[in-house]
Amino acid sequence: MKTLIVAATLPEISPLMASMALNEGVNNYREHVVYVLITGVGMVATAYALGYHLGNFKYDLAINLGIAGSFDRSIALGEVVHVTRDHFAELGAEDGDGFLTIDELGFGASAVSHQLSAVSSQLSAGSREPDIRTVTGITVNRVHGNVHSIEATVSRLAPHTESMEGAAFFYACNSAAVPAMQLRSISNYVERRNREAWNIGLAIKNLNIFAEKFITDLLKAGS
């Protein structure tokens, strides 16, 4: 099986890489190929890196791993969630106090979803779907840190989580017909910017523990 692991920054997945003995780039893991792609932060960096890479290589599955903010206070800091649907939340046009999405402008779709149906038929359904909370995310260039803009986004899209890459990851993988899933661990709540309240260490620790078990189980099932 050929698996692509995608993260914005190296520190977000270096514990996983150490425990599975993976390097950036191509790796042989047992009888599988695992490629680790570090894209840089944000949609532009992610879209470029994935567009370039997926133009040359084909995968059975791409997995986006990273930390995220949560709008939903019932999700604990450090909880790992499965983002199955994501939105380009800022893509569109202002219309006075309102907002017209890219869909309403007639230029495309602002929502993108995970695609797992085409994952190798060798894998059972149970081993493909992680047994964790399923959430809807938004992806932004400008991270929310203002109570008024947070209220407006929540009433328009009701997202659970926010990242700076997720929708671009889905868009690139869907465009290249590569099955894709996004797993994120919550490092902070989306609120008036309050960096002291973030727990990036806990989020990275839990993300990597979860990802190692999930990916090694997946590759066992896919042997």
Ligand X SMILES: O=C(O)c1cccc(C(=O)CC[C@H]2O[C@@H](n3cnc4c(=O)[nH]cnc43)[C@H](O)[C@@H]2O)c1
CA distances from 132 to 126, 168, 220 (A): 12, 22, 20
Tokens of 72: 């939903």
Asked if residue 195 binds ligand X (CB under 6 A), the reply is yes
Asked if residue 66 binds ligand X (CB under 6 A), the reply is yes
Nearer to ligand X, 69 or 130 (CB): 69
CB of 87 to ligand X, least distance (A): 13
Nearer to ligand X, 41 or 158 (CB): 41
Please classify residue 12 by burial: count the beta carbons closer than 10 Å to its beta carbon, then call 0-12 exposed, 13-18 middle and 19+ buried.
Answer: buried
Binding region for ligand X (CB under 6 A) out of 91-99, 102-110, 157-165, 207-215: 157-165
Please classify residue 207 by burial: count the beta carbons closer than 10 Å to its beta carbon, then call 0-12 exposed, 13-18 middle and 19+ buried.
Answer: buried
Nearest-angstrom CA–CA distance, 103 and 187: 31
Contacting residue, 115, 153, 163, 206, with ligand X by CB under 6 A: 163
Tokens of 124: 């059972």
Contacting residue, 60, 72, 79, 162, with ligand X by CB under 6 A: 162
Nearer to ligand X, 119 or 138 (CB): 138
Binding residues for ligand X (CB under 6 A) = 8, 41, 66-69, 143, 162-165, 187-188, 190, 193, 195
